[in-house]
């Protein structure tokens, strides 16, 4: 049955969430305008309009509404699966013949996730974890959940150690440092392609350790073919399942924790070596530190600290009068 594509959506956000959304859209280069009774209205140029009203209501309209809610608003702002999630959950609980839901709950499989793609400073890290019935129960008892729900870095690192102890060799972590990230992005000129490349490398490394792995769950950030095309011969026979809010799967949640732990440790080391505390994320606070790094090490060295395609860097350099 063909479903109608959603072109209009609204929800209530807190003041903090509206501020986060505004920063995210500014980083993406959206244009802003004033609207009656609203904090702001914003658009990427065509296909979408977002308005944040002073009442807390946020409206999304246009042909790209569904993609924006699934791939930006939910994962980057609310941290909750809202659009159509309740219906999907009911279907899984109420239909014992749903093979996909049974797969999530019982079959041995791998999960894959990344950390650092929304952070200006530090690396991009991709991790993959293979679980079976035994390790799944142990991971659940160890408190494994989506890393976004664990706000304390020390706790993230502690749980990451537990995950490694539980799964043994059945994991892979691929860190892509700032210099390498910028070279790859420069050649690919597309974040989804870079993510697909990183996911494929982490998966290939995992398959070398766990050749019996036949299925993997990943978050739906790109077309499946981009990951499959990036896989080498060994990985092309694997069944890849992409879905939104994949972190609700325990293998993906474990991968998200390993990736985040590696990210925060490398970010800390990078800042320690530079003599500067490097913040996570992006936005006004991060821009202040970008300026400090440029002043201390020079414009040409910034690629060793952060992801230079972020619009925040251009903004800082423009304000400093140091952009070419």
Question: What are 278-321's pLDDT values in tens digits?
Answer: 999 888 889 999 999 999 999 889 999 999 999 889 889 988 88
Residue 196 falls within a domain, yes or no? yes
User: Per the structure block, which two tokens stand in for 155?
Assistant: 């706790």
CA distance 68 to 235: 30
Question: pLDDT (tens digit, 9 = 90+) per residue, 36-90?
Answer: 999 999 999 888 999 999 999 999 999 888 778 866 787 678 766 555 433 333 3
- Give the CB-side neighbour count of residue 23, counting CA atoms within 13 A: 19
CA distance 245 to 235: 23
Question: What 8-state DSSP symbol labels residue 112?
Answer: E
162 and 107 share a domain?
A: yes
Residue 114 falls within a domain, yes or no? yes
110 and 249 share a domain?
A: yes
250 and 123 share a domain?
A: yes
105 and 218 share a domain?
A: yes
How high is the pLDDT of residue 84?
46
Q: Domain residues for 301?
A: 274-320
CA distance 175 to 177: 6
150 and 28 share a domain?
A: no
Name the domain count of the chain. Answer: 3
CA distance 188 to 176: 14
62 and 126 share a domain?
A: no
Residue 183 falls within a domain, yes or no? yes
Task: Report the candidate in 183, 139, 221 with the shortest Cα–Cα distance to residue 304.
Answer: 183
CA distance 240 to 36: 46
117 and 244 share a domain?
A: yes
Element (H, E) at 91: helix 85-94
Residue 22 falls within a domain, yes or no? yes
Domain boundary (62, 84, 106) is at: 84
| b (16+ CB within 10 A) / e for 47-72 | ebbbbbbeeeebbbbbebbbebbbbb
Place of tokens 């690919």: 188
180 and 235 share a domain?
A: yes
pTM: 0.67
């Amino acid at each position: 049955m063909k479903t109608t594509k959603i072109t209009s959506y609204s929800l209530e956000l807190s003041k903090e969430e509206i501020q986060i959304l505004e920063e995210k859209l500014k980083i993406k280069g959206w244009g802003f305008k004033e609207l009656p009774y609203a904090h702001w209205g914003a658009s990427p140029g065509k296909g979408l309009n977002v308005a944040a009203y002073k009442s807390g209501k946020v409206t999304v309209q246009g042909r790209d509404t569904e993609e924006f809610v699934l791939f930006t608003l939910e994962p980057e702002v609310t941290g909750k699966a809202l659009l159509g999630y309740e219906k999907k959950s009911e279907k899984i609980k109420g239909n014992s013949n749903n093979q996909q839901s049974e797969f999530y709950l019982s079959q041995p499989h791998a999960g894959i996730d990344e950390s650092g793609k929304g952070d200006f400073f530090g690396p991009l890290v991709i991790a993959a974890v293979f679980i079976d019935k035994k390790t799944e129960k142990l991971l659940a008892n160890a408190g494994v959940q989506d890393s976004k729900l664990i706000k304390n870095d020390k706790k993230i690192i502690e749980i990451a150690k537990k995950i490694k102890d539980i799964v043994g060799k059945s994991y892979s972590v691929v860190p892509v440092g700032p210099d390498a990230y910028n070279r790859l992005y420069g050649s690919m000129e597309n974040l989804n392609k870079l993510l697909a490349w990183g996911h494929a490398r982490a998966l290939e490394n995992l398959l070398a350790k766990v050749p019996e792995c036949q299925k993997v769950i990943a978050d739906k950030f790109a077309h499946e073919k981009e990951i499959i095309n990036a896989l080498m011969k060994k990985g092309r026979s694997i069944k890849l399942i992409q879905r939104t809010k994949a972190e609700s799967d325990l293998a993906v949640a474990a991968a998200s924790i390993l990736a985040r732990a590696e990210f925060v440790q490398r970010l800390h080391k990078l800042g320690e070596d530079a003599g500067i505390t490097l913040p996570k994320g992006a936005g006004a606070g991060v821009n202040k530190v970008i300026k400090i790094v440029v002043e201390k090490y020079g414009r040409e060295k910034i690629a060793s600290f952060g992801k230079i395609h972020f619009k925040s860097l251009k903004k800082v350099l423009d304000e400093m009068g140091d952009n070419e």
